[in-house]
Amino acid sequence: MKVRIYVTLKNGVLDPQGKAIHHALESLDFAGVNDVRVGKLIELEVESSVSREEIDKMCDKLLANTVIETYEIELPDTAMEANG
């Protein structure tokens, strides 16, 4: 089964990459973009026996830095489930 994990910076954490992209969009005359936040998408192909709790542990221990990042887990046929 394919699991998607979206990792983003928590609100209030500076995002220099997002700021650089925002500045570049402005310099290319793209108007109307108020802010840019950059994150990452991690796709895991896991056995169906892998539980949601195990995936949470993977995120907490390795895939996300929970001090400054939050993550959302998308399981097949479910809405996104947030954590962090």
Residue 43 sits in a domain whose CATH number is 3.30.1280.10
Domain assignment of residue 15, given as a range: 2-83
Tell the residue number behind the tokens 């399981």, with chain if given. 75
pLDDT, tens digit, for every residue of 39-84? 999 999 999 999 999 999 999 999 999 999 999 999 987 544 556 6
Q: What are phi and psi of 16, to 5 degrees?
A: -60, -35
Task: Tell me the pTM.
Answer: 0.83
Q: Helices (H) and strands (E) in the chain — how many of each?
A: 2, 4
pLDDT at 77: 74
CA torsion through residues 63, 64, 66, 72, sign: negative
pLDDT at 76: 86
| Number of domains present in the structure of the chain | 1
